Chain A
C-alpha cells in the first residue's frame, strides 16, 4: 500500500503546482479578460469578414450598344443580387479611374456592335475589366458573369449548354467558404494563446528567480512538467469550446461528426502545442526571448496549416515541411470531423502524428527544465 500513498502524494504535489499556475494566470482580472474576451470577438468578427465568397460586388457599366439584348444581359447581372451597379458610364475612358481608385473591382463594357453581331449569328464579346490587386475576387466575378452570359445565350436559342455540369458538393452544399475558415479557427485561435501561455510559464519564473526554488522543492521533473502543462491545456480547451459554441450556435454550422472526438483531438493537439511552448519556455533565458521564439513558431505554424489556403496549393517542399506542423494535423482533423463527419478510422493519420509530437515535445521540455540553466 506504500505505492498508493506515494501516488497520492505525487498527485497532491501536482495539484498544488497546478493551483499555483492557475492563480498566476487568472489572479489579474486583465489577464482573465484577455484569455476569454478576444477569442469571442475574434471568432465573431473573423466569421463575418473571412470569406472568399462573392456576396456583394459593386460594378460599373459602359453600354455602348444600348440595345434590348444588352439591357437584358445587364438585367440578368443585376438580378443576381450580388452585383450592384455603382455607376453607369458614358465613355470607355471613365472606366480606368473607377478601377484604379478601387471603387469597383469590375467594369463591364458592351461594344456598340453587340446586338448587330448577335443578330448576325456571330459571337458577341463583352469586355470585363477586373482589378488584379485582388485576383481572387476578380477571377470569381469573371466566372460568375461568364456563366450568366452563357445561360443567356443558351436561353436565347432554347438550347442547352454544350455540356452541362451537374454539381453536387458534399458536406457543404452551397460551397460556403466561411465554413472552411471558421472551423479551422477552432484549432488555430486557441493554439496561439496556449502556446503563448505555456511559453511564458517557465520563463516568467526564471526572470523572477522563482524557478530555482521550484527545482529544489521535492517535486520531480515529471511533476513539474504535468503541473506546468495542465493550466495551458485547460486554457486552450476552454477557448476552443468558446469558438466551437460561436460557430455551432451563432453561425449555425451543422455539426456532422462527434463533438467528443473533436475534443479528443484537441486534447492531444494542445498537449503537442504545450510541449512546444514549455520547451521554448525552458530554452529561453528571459520572458522577452520566450515570447519572440513563440512568435517565431506561431507565424509559420499558422501559414503552413492550411487555414487560409489549402496545403495542396503550396510548393512541394513546403508541403513536406507541413508534416512537422502540429497545427496542420489538428486543423485537418477538426475540419474532417466537424464538416465531413469523419470517425476515428478516417482521421487516425492526423491523430498519430499529433500523439507522436506530444510524446516528443513533452519529455524534451522536461529535459530542458533540468539542463538549461543560465
Chain B
C-alpha cells in the first residue's frame, strides 16, 4: 500500500466530501435528524405515567371514601375529575376523555368499618401498558388511605431498590439507548444510498477504470459519514449530561471509542446494503427495514430481551445494535464494567471485519 494508498485515498475523500457538501440534504439529515430524535425521545417517549385523566364516581358519602378521593386527587399521577354517576363516567371513557374510572360503592364506609372495603377500578384495555401502571398507582393510593381497615399485624412488606436508575425514570434508560438508534440510522440511511446511487447513474465504472482499488473506494465513501456520526455522538453525550441530566458513570473516552466502533459498523452495513442492492429504491427499503424498527424493537432498547420468547433471542443477538446497546447502557448507568465492554467491543469488531470483507468482495466481482 504505502504512500500511494494514502494519496489516492486523500483525493477520493476530497471528492466525497465535496459531493456531500454540494448537496446539503445529506448534512441536513445527518445533523438535524439526530437533534429531532434527541428532543422527541427525551421529551416524547416516556413510560412514566403522569397526570393520567381518570374519573372518580363517589357513591358513598362517608368520610373514609372522602379520604380516598382526596388521596387520589393529591397524587401527581392522576388528573381526576368527579363524575355524578357511573353512566356519565362510562360515557367519558368511551369518548376517550378519561382512561380509567374509580368507583367507590355506596356501602364502602360501612364495609371499611368491618375491614373489608372494596372499590371498583375500570380501565381502558386498549392501552394495556398505561392501564397496568394506573392500576399500580391506584392500589398504592388505596393502601395509603388513612382509613385502612384492620390493625397492621406483622405483614410482609416489599422494599424495592432500583439500582443504576435512582431517579426511577424511563428517560435514564432511553437516552443511553438513543445513541444506538441514532448511529444505526445514520449509518444505514445515509450510507446505504451511496454506492447504489453511483451504480444507477453509471459513475461507478468511471471510478473503477481509475487506479483506485475497491477498498479505497469503500473507505473514502465512509469517511464523510464518520465525521457526521462523530458530531452526532457528541450531541447525544452533551444533551445527556446537560439537558436530561442522565449520569455517565463509566469512562467517557471509552464510551466514545465504543460508539465510534459501532458507528463504523453501521456505516459499513449501509455500504454493504448499497453494494448488494445496486438500486436506490431497494437500498432505501432495505436500510429502513434493517435499521430503525429492528433497532427499536429487538435491541433491548425499550423491550426487555430477558422477557421475550426464547426463539426470538437469537434474532436479537444477531443485531450489532443489541451488543452496543448493552455496552452503552452499562457505561452510562452502571460504570466501567470491563467484561461487558470488552465482550461488546470484540463482537462489534468481528462484525466490522465481516462487513468489510463482504463489501470488498462484492465490488470487483460485480464489475466483471
- Chain A interface (Cβ within 8 Å of chain B)? 28, 30-31, 34, 38, 42, 45-46, 48-58, 73, 99-102, 104-105, 117-140, 142-143, 145-147, 149-150, 152-153, 156-157, 159-180, 183, 189, 192-193, 196, 200, 204, 207, 284, 286-289, 291-296, 298-300, 302-304, 308-310, 312-315, 317-318, 335-336, 339-340, 346
Please determine whether A42 and B154 come into contact, CB atoms closer than 8 angstroms: no
Distance A189 CA – B289 CA, assembled complex (angstroms): 10
Question: Provided the pairs A167-B135, A180-B127, A193-B285 are in contact, do residues A130 and B163 lie with their beta carbons within 8 angstroms?
Answer: yes
Contacts of B125 in A (CB 8 A): 169-176, 179, 339
Determine which of A57, A310, A340, A346 lies in contact with B306 in the assembled complex, contact meaning CB atoms within 8 Å: A57
- Choose one: A146, A291, A309; the contact of B158 (CB below 8 Å): A146
* Contact status B329-A133, CB under 8 Å: yes
**Does B92 count as interface, using CB distance less than 8 angstroms?**
no
A45 B312 Cβ-Cβ under 8 A: yes
CA distance A257 to B36 in the complex (A): 36
Pick from B40, B136, B156, B334: contact of A149, CB under 8 Å: B156
Shortest A287–chain B CB gap in Å is 5
Q: How many residues of B contact A (CB 8 A)?
A: 119
Check B308 against A57 for contact (C-beta < 8 Å).
no
Q: How many Å lie between the Cα of A152 and that of B155 in the bound state?
A: 8
Q: Which residues of B contact A139 (CB under 8 A)?
A: 133, 136, 162, 168
Contact of A170 among B53, B93, B337 (CB under 8 A): B93
Question: In whole angstroms, how far apart are the Cα atoms of A235 and B150 in the complex?
Answer: 63
> Smallest CB-CB separation from A347: which chain B residue?
B96
The smallest C-beta distance from B161 to any residue of chain A, in angstroms, reads 5
Q: Which residue of B lies closest to A35 (CB)?
A: B285
| Most A CB within 10 A of own CB, among B29, B143, B280, B304 | B304
Taking a contact as CB atoms under 8 Å apart, the answer to whether B45 and A135 are in contact is no
Top 7 A-B residue pairs of the complex, sorted by shortest distance between their CB atoms: A132-B165, A172-B125, A162-B148, A153-B155, A169-B125, A142-B160, A339-B126
Q: Is B365 an interface residue (CB 8 A)?
A: no
Contact partner, B157, options A100, A126, A131, A169, Cβ 8 Å: A126
Other-chain contact of B122, A133, A168, A287 (Cβ < 8 Å): A168
Query: B residues within 8 Å of A by Cβ?
Result: 23, 25-26, 28-29, 32-33, 36-37, 40-41, 43-53, 68, 93-96, 99, 112, 115-133, 135-136, 138-139, 142-143, 145, 148-150, 152-166, 168-170, 172-173, 185, 189-190, 193, 197, 200-201, 277, 279-282, 284-286, 288-289, 292-293, 296-298, 300, 302-304, 306-309, 312, 315-316, 326, 329-330, 333-334, 337, 339-340
A53, A163, A286, A309: which contacts B47 (Cβ < 8 A)? Answer: A309
Contact of A136 among B33, B36, B150, B302 (CB under 8 A): B302
Given A164-B116, A313-B49 in contact, is the A118-B156 Cβ separation under 8 Å?
yes
Additional A-B contacts beyond A156-B154, A162-B117, A164-B116 (17; CB < 8 A): A50-B303, A118-B154, A123-B152, A135-B170, A136-B47, A162-B142, A162-B148, A163-B145, A164-B118, A169-B124, A171-B125, A178-B128, A300-B36, A303-B40, A304-B44, A313-B48, A313-B49
B308 contacts A49, C-beta separation under 8 Å: yes
Contact assessment for A133 and B330 in the assembled complex, using a CB-CB cutoff below 8 Å: yes
Q: List 22 A-B contacts (CB under 8 A).
A: A52-B303, A55-B307, A100-B334, A121-B154, A123-B154, A127-B161, A132-B168, A134-B173, A134-B302, A139-B168, A157-B153, A169-B131, A171-B124, A175-B131, A176-B128, A180-B127, A287-B280, A303-B44, A304-B44, A313-B50, A340-B94, A340-B126
Neighbouring B residues of A291 by C-beta, 8 Å? 189, 193, 280, 284
Please, which residues of chain A bring their CB within 8 A of the CB of B51?
Answer: 312
Contacts of A132 in B (CB 8 A): 162-166, 168, 172-173, 333
Query: Are B117's CB and A200's CB within 8 A?
Result: no
> What residues on B are CB-neighbors of A130 within 8 Å?
160-163
Do the beta carbons of A292 and B307 come within 8 Å of each other?
no
Q: Is the beta-carbon distance between B37 and A303 smaller than 8 angstroms?
A: yes
CB contact under 8 A between A165 and B142, given known A133-B165, A308-B302: yes
| Complex alpha-carbon distance, A175 and B132, angstroms | 7
Please, which residues of chain A bring their CB within 8 A of the CB of B172? 132, 135
Nearest CB of B to A73, in Å:
6
When distances are taken between beta carbons in the complex, the residues of chain A under 8 Å from B161 are 127-130
- With A140-B132, A289-B25, A313-B47 known as contacts, the answer to whether A131 contacts B138 (CB < 8 A) is no
Smallest CB gap from A317: residue in B: B43
Q: Are A143 and B136 in contact (CB under 8 A)?
A: yes
Query: With the chains together, A179 CA to B127 CA distance in Å?
Result: 8
**Distance (whole angstroms) from the CB of B166 to the closest CB of chain A:** 7
Q: Which residues of A contact B93 (CB under 8 A)?
A: 170
- Which residues of A sit under 8 angstroms from B292, Cβ to Cβ? 298-299, 302
In the complex formed, the residue of A with least CB distance to B118 is A164
- Give the residue of B129, B145, B307 whose beta carbon is less than 8 angstroms from that of A180: B129
Q: Look across to chain B and name the residue whose beta carbon is closest to the beta carbon of A110.
A: B156
Q: How far is the CA of A46 from the CA of B307 in the complex (A)?
A: 13
Chain A residue nearest to B102 (CB atoms) is A165
Given A132-B164, A170-B93, A172-B126; A34-B286 close (CB under 8 Å) = yes
Of A117, A125, A169, A204, chain B has the most CB atoms within 10 Å of the CB of A169
A153 and B37 contact, Cβ closer than 8 Å, known pairs A167-B123, A292-B25: no
Enumerate chain B residues within 8 angstroms of A160, measured Cβ to Cβ: 115-116, 150
**Provided the pairs A45-B315, A165-B142 are in contact, do residues A128 and B159 lie with their beta carbons within 8 angstroms?**
yes
Residues of B within 8 A of A120 (CB): 154
Question: Which chain A residues lie closer than 8 Å to B166 at the CB level?
Answer: 132
Question: A181 to chain B: closest CB distance in Å?
Answer: 9
* Nearest chain A residue, comparing its CB with the CB of B339: A101
**B306 and A56 form a contact (CB under 8 A):** yes
Residues in chain A near residue B163, CB distance under 8 A: 99, 129-132
Contact of B25 among A55, A147, A284 (CB under 8 A): A284
A54, A132, A168, A318 interface centre (most CB from chain B within 10 Å): A132
* Contact partners of A300 in chain B: CB under 8 A: 36-37, 40
